Amino acid sequence: MLMIRLARFGSKKKPTYRVVVIEKERARNGRAVEIVGHYNPVSQPQEVVLKLDRINHWVKNGAQPSDTVARLIRKYPVPEVVAAA
């Protein structure tokens, strides 16, 4: 099963995250199928870049967004993605 979730990058105490499509069983920072965005919670204001067309594509093909990614999608809505999530 495919998941859309966050993979942590960055240095100690300065995290940045990539929004990735990945097999559910893989490690958090394992090899991803596709990178569909990034999230930087440290910057002011927080930086969120999502490829909503690709996220929508993967959701239509059965990928499940994690709770955190679903919350980010709702904050930056696209009608098809919100309805599918």
Q: Which domains does the chain have, with CATH numbers?
A: 2-84 (3.30.1320.10)
Exposure string for 34-59, b = 16+ CB within 10 A, e = fewer: bebbbbbeeeeeeebebeeebbbbbb
Which residues pair with residue 45 across a beta bridge? none
**Model confidence pLDDT, tens digit, residues 66-81:** 999 999 988 876 544 4
**Model confidence pLDDT, tens digit, residues 48-68:** 899 989 999 999 999 999 999
Instruction: Kindly report the average pLDDT of the chain as a whole number.
Output: 87
**Model confidence pLDDT, tens digit, residues 20-55:** 999 988 888 888 899 999 999 999 888 889 998 999
Global confidence as pTM: 0.82
The whole-angstrom separation of Cα 60 and Cα 37 is: 17
Q: Is the pLDDT of residue 14 over 90?
A: yes
